[in-house]
């Protein structure tokens, strides 16, 4: 069966390579209209930058709430709405409702979709029943449901046009990520890194929902979709590049989940995304580099074949998922214009690569507290070129099973999780929501049972010693790998950022504030407390000649689970209670979309 | 050996009819010990914390297993989260038999306003082999006998515990 799929994929390649370029140029064009927000990521480059400038650094202080919308769902609300012409599409966590709202008719609900899903999928969703949003293309809205059903809805009526099953929740696969429409395909990843899923990126035909290709994160070459031209750091990866780095059949439960954001360069015709942690969290149980978990992938969207890969954290020992977004920008390095890819990894390193070739240009800590590595070997002639140097004091593999390794920074949450950063071509800076949390980590032996958690480590988390802020919102220069400014936040910043031509950058906080800061200096210009903590992404659009800023609030996710009760200082001794601020003292559950604009003149 | 454990758990579930009984867990004072496992006057597993903070092996082991298998929903230290209830409170009214029943067969509470579902862990050895450890740790938390941090000192793992653990987890299986 699988063989047949690949055969289909290869056959399809020949056809599409010739004819398909025009199929969805429409969407690419639409994404360049700043009045709309037609992709979950804003545009293919994942810059989350808007050319709208009606709201700017001078007047943003006057921002007001224009209207609000309750989603009727209590769980953690990640992602953000799409805006296509007069229509806004709002999604929710499980049960994964979608509302189509007509902005020109006093925000009336035109249609609502609510799938019937087996609630048994809920506890398979590791850390809350989040969903990161819907995609638009070819007159359809695409939703990846918790139960891994990918559904295509008629954008006008909400009618189901087709469905496809992307995984099996009874084996630990779930759907949380946002699909991405690229040409005549819908691309979607899968969750389940804590359940031993052999994860994959899959492309479905936009018209029929038929699977066109599927590239796994680990396994034999025909499942990885790699060939003799696939490279890492300029060198061919060779045959069986993944199989050689796992013991026996462990790759079959190897993880490498793909639930992050997807970006695309139409000129290079390459799709970029990251793969997550290898299963289990106990590194002793899976010797080897565990390729290609923790990897940046560059694939051809027509065939799925990988052009290049780069594994950031070989043989993970800390759950530093590599799924975070790849932001594409064109900047000059050493006077030469480069096509760049910038990625803020969970492992605390900010990477800049040449996105055409996969050449590594910059790898530096974007939180000075990162202490598991002394840095990445940048010497091209070194045998460990491109590898991070792991410090013994932070190595949970060296310490071994049943040993508690203390004071590792960052925590398993990463210096940043899925919450996407923004990039402004004007300031040439990245605006990064970060976590500032460290951990103790103790691996131990676990057994694998299909559909059951496969974790294998105990961990406890706390802010870096001597500090109380659990987050920072930073501006980062991706060319030099330097922090330009950094604002402390009491809690991890778990909201996607938005940069605008108005010189303003927006983000949300876990307490529930929507904040606007000056893009050049980070100075806070505005804040408003929404009904619940924000783990959604900030969006902007224009309607009726007016610029709006919208954000979903609704606390939850990993952040809500880890921080609800407050973290404790492990050195405080017996009986220490609530050493740090508890999120539950600031906010409670509930999904609301809050939309802001300037007051009428 | 592993099978036997699961059967035992299943019997509990059947005996309880899957319904939580109203009976509270009772006095947690340890009245006797068997191979490092402490029991209360009703014969249910309980914790033992010395004046210097040394905890019994089950409490320590339960801390570790909780922070691997349970905390991703129930939050650190049994404190609860935005997603699932605080077990340090639940265990105040939930007795040993009810605890085993819920962990083994899961629980569902789905309505228009909430959708709480706990999976069945009965056939997951990482949880099922450590039911007593988890219960003892959470019972200690529910009585404030241990705080929010990793217990600093603990009794050693007994030989009998080690043997039972290896058998339950299948660690003695040699290929």
Q: Nearest CA to B154 among B27, B91, B64?
A: B64
Q: Which residues of A are designated catalytic?
A: 319
B85 assigned to some structural domain: yes
Q: Which of A191, A453, A581 to mutate to test the interface with B (most CBs of B within 10 A)?
A: A453
What is the C-alpha separation between A310 and A298, in angstroms, rounded?
9
Produce one character per residue of A21-60: b if its CB has 16 or more CB atoms within 10 Å, e if not: eebbeebbebbeebbbbbbbbbbbbbbbbbebebbbbeeb
Mean pLDDT (chain B) is 85
B104 assigned to some structural domain: yes
What is the C-alpha separation between A145 and A175, in angstroms, rounded?
5
What is the C-alpha separation between B33 and B46, in angstroms, rounded?
10
Tell how strand A471-477 and strand A263-265 pair up: unpaired
DSSP track, A233-299: TTEE--TTTTGGGSSTTGGGG-B----S--EEETTTTEEEEE--PBS-S-GGGS-S--TTSSEEEEE
Q: With 90 as the cut, is the pLDDT of residue B167 above it?
A: yes
Cβ–Cβ of B124/A456 closer than 8 Å? no
Cβ–Cβ of A555/B82 closer than 8 Å? yes
Asked if A36 is an interface residue toward chain B (Cβ–Cβ < 8 A), one would say: no
Q: With 50 as the cut, is the pLDDT of residue B3 above it?
A: no
Cβ–Cβ of A564/B82 closer than 8 Å? yes
Which pTM was predicted? 0.92
Total domains in chain B come to: 1
Residue with tokens 């289909």: A8
Tell how strand A405-408 and strand A388-390 pair up: unpaired
Cβ–Cβ of A573/B171 closer than 8 Å? no
Q: With 50 as the cut, is the pLDDT of residue B20 above it?
A: no
Asked if A95 is an interface residue toward chain B (Cβ–Cβ < 8 A), one would say: yes
Residue B67: which of A460, A560, A568 has the nearest Cβ? A460
The band of B171, judged by pLDDT with boundaries at 50, 70 and 90, is confident
Report the greatest alpha carbon distance in chain B. 50
What is the C-alpha separation between B137 and B63, in angstroms, rounded?
6
Cβ–Cβ of B119/A577 closer than 8 Å? no
CB-side exposure of B143: number of CA atoms within 13 Å? 18
Produce one character per residue of A260-284: b if its CB has 16 or more CB atoms within 10 Å, e if not: bbbbbbeebbbbbbbbbbbbbbbbb
Residue B64: which of A94, A127, A458 has the nearest Cβ? A458
The band of B81, judged by pLDDT with boundaries at 50, 70 and 90, is confident
Residue B69, classed as helix, strand or coil, is: helix
What is the C-alpha separation between A272 and A357, in angstroms, rounded?
12
A/B interface, count of CB pairs below 8 Å: 141
CA-CA distances (angstroms) from residue B118 to A128, A283, A297, A456, B64?
12, 28, 35, 20, 20
What is the C-alpha separation between A467 and A375, in angstroms, rounded?
23
Q: Nearest CA to B44 among B88, B91, B9, B96?
A: B96
Q: Does domain A21-597 have CATH number 2.140.10.10?
A: yes
Cβ–Cβ of A568/B149 closer than 8 Å? yes
**Contact criterion met (CB below 8 Å) for A192 and A172:** yes
Asked if A193 is an interface residue toward chain B (Cβ–Cβ < 8 A), one would say: no
Tokens of A400: 């071994």
Tokens of A532: 């619940």
Tokens of A243: 């199989």
Q: Which domain holds residue B59?
A: 2-19+33-169
* Distance in Å, alpha carbon of A536 to nearest chain B alpha carbon: 15
Give Cα A168 to chain centroid, integer Å. Answer: 22
What is the C-alpha separation between A520 and A529, in angstroms, rounded?
24
Q: Nearest CA to A552 among A83, A44, A12, A92?
A: A92
B78 assigned to some structural domain: yes
B27 assigned to some structural domain: no
Q: Which of residues A144 and B73 earns the better pLDDT score?
A: A144
B26 assigned to some structural domain: no
CB atoms within 10 A of CB A600: 6
What is the C-alpha separation between B134 and B63, in angstroms, rounded?
7
Tokens of B173: 């299986």
**With the C-alpha atoms ordered A193, A581, A520, A517, is the resulting torsion angle positive or negative?**
positive
**Contact criterion met (CB below 8 Å) for A124 and A451:** yes
**Contact criterion met (CB below 8 Å) for A476 and A366:** yes
Give 10-residue mean pLDDT values along chain A (601 residues).
42 41 76 97 98 98 98 95 98 96 98 94 86 98 98 98 97 97 97 95 98 98 98 98 97 97 98 97 97 98 98 98 98 96 98 98 98 98 97 97 95 95 98 96 93 90 89 97 97 97 98 98 98 97 98 91 72 45 88 96 70
Tokens of A190: 């899968």
What is the C-alpha separation between B133 and A384, in angstroms, rounded?
43
Produce one character per residue of B55-67: b if its CB has 16 or more CB atoms within 10 Å, e if not: bbbbbbbbbbbbb
Supply the CATH number for residue B81's domain: 1.10.760.10
**Contact criterion met (CB below 8 Å) for A23 and A184:** yes
What is the C-alpha separation between A389 and A313, in angstroms, rounded?
10
The band of B21, judged by pLDDT with boundaries at 50, 70 and 90, is low
Residue B163's H or E segment, with its range, is helix B159-169
Nearest CA in chain B to A129: B83
Report the greatest alpha carbon distance in chain A. 69
Q: At what angle do helices B57-65 and B131-142 cross, to 10 degrees?
A: 100
What's the pLDDT score for residue A22? 46
Residue B76: which of A194, A557, A565 has the nearest Cβ? A565
What's the pLDDT score for residue A570? 58
**Contact criterion met (CB below 8 Å) for A568 and B148:** yes
User: Which positions ≥6 away from B19 have C-beta within 8 Å?
Assistant: none
- Complex confidence, ipTM: 0.82
Residue B152: which of A119, A460, A574 has the nearest Cβ? A574
């Amino acid at each position: 069966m699988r063989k047949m799929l690949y055969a289909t994929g290869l056959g399809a390649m020949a056809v599409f390579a010739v004819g398909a370029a025009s199929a969805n140029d429409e969407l690419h064009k639409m994404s360049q209209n700043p009045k709309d927000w037609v992709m979950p990521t804003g545009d293919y480059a994942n810059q989350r930058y808007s050319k709208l400038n009606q709201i700017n650094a001078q007047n943003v202080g006057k921002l007001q709430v224009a209207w609000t919308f309750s989603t009727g769902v209590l769980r953690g609300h990640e992602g953000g709405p799409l805006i296509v012409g007069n229509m806004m599409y709002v999604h929710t966590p499980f049960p994964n409702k979608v509302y189509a709202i007509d902005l020109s008719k006093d925000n009336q609900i035109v249609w609502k979709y609510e799938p019937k899903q087996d609630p048994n999928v809920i506890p398979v969703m590791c850390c809350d029943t989040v969903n990161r949003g819907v995609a638009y293309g070819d007159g359809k809205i695409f939703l990846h449901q918790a139960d891994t059903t990918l559904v295509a809805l008629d954008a006008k009526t909400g009618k189901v046009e087709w469905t496809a099953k992307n995984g099996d929740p009874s084996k630990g696969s779930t759907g949380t990520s946002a699909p991405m429409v690229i040409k005549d395909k819908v691309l979607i990843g899968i969750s389940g890194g804590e359940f031993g899923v052999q994860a994959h990126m899959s492309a479905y035909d936009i018209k029929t929902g038929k699977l066109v290709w599927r590239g796994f994160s680990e396994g034999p070459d025909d499942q990885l979709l790699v060939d003799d031209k696939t490279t890492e750091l300029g060198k061919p990866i060779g045959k069986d590049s993944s199989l050689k780095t796992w013991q026996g059949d462990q790759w079959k439960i190897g993880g490498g989940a793909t639930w992050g954001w997807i970006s695309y360069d139409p000129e290079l015709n390459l799709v970029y995304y990251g793969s997550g942690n290898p299963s289990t969290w106990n590194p002793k149980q899976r010797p080897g580099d565990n390729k290609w978990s923790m990897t940046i992938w560059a694939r051809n969207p027509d065939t799925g074949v990988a052009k290049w890969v780069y594994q950031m954290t070989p043989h993970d020992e800390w759950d530093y998922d590599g799924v975070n977004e790849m932001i594409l920008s064109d900047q000059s390095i050493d006077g030469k214009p480069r096509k760049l890819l910038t990625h803020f990894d969970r492992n605390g390193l900010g990477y800049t690569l040449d996105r055409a070739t996969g050449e590594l240009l910059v790898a530096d800590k974007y939180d000075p507290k990162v202490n598991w590595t002394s840095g990445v070997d940048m010497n091209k002639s070194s045998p460990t070129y491109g590898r991070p140097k792991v410090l013994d004091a932070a190595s949970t593999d060296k310490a071994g099973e049943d040993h508690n390794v203390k004071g590792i920074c960052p925590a398993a949450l990463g210096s940043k999780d899925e919450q996407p950063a923004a990039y402004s071509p004007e300031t040439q800076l990245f605006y990064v929501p970060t976590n500032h949390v460290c951990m103790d980590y103790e691996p131990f032996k676990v057994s694998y049972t299909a559909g059951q958690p496969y974790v294998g480590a105990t961990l406890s988390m706390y802010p870096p010693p001597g500090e109380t802020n659990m987050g920072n919102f930073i501006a980062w220069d991706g060319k030099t790998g330097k922090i330009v400014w950094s604002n402390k936040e009491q809690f991890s910043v778990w909201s996607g950022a938005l940069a605008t031509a108005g010189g303003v950058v927006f983000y949300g906080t876990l307490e529930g504030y929507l904040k606007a800061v000056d893009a050049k200096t980070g100075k806070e210009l505005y804040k408003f407390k929404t009904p619940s903590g924000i783990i959604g992404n900030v969006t902007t659009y224009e309607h009726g000649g007016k610029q709006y800023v919208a954000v979903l609030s609704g606390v939850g996710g990993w952040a809500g689970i880890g921080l609800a009760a407050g973290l404790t200082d492990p050195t405080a001794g017996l009986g220490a209670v609530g050493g740090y601020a508890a999120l539950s003292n600031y906010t409670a559950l509930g999904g609301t979309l809050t939309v802001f604009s300037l007051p009428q003149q | 050996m592993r099978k036997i454990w699961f059967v035992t758990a299943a019997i509990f579930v059947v005996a309880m009819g899957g319904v939580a009984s109203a009976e509270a867990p009772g006095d947690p004072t340890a009245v006797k010990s068997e191979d490092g496992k402490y029991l209360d006057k009703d014969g249910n597993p309980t914790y033992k914390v010395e004046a210097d903070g040394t905890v019994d092996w089950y409490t320590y082991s339960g801390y570790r297993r909780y922070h691997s298998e349970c905390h991703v929903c129930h939050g650190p230290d049994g404190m609860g989260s935005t997603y699932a209830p605080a077990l340090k409170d639940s265990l105040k009214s939930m007795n040993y038999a009810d605890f085993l029943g819920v962990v083994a067969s899961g629980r569902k509470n789905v309505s228009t306003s909430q959708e709480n579902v706990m999976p069945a862990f009965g056939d997951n050895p990482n949880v099922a082999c450590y039911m007593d450890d988890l219960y003892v740790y959470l019972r200690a938390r529910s009585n404030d006998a241990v705080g929010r941090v990793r217990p600093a000192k603990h009794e050693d793992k007994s030989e009998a515990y080690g043997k039972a653990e290896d058998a339950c987890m299948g660690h003695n299986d040699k290929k």
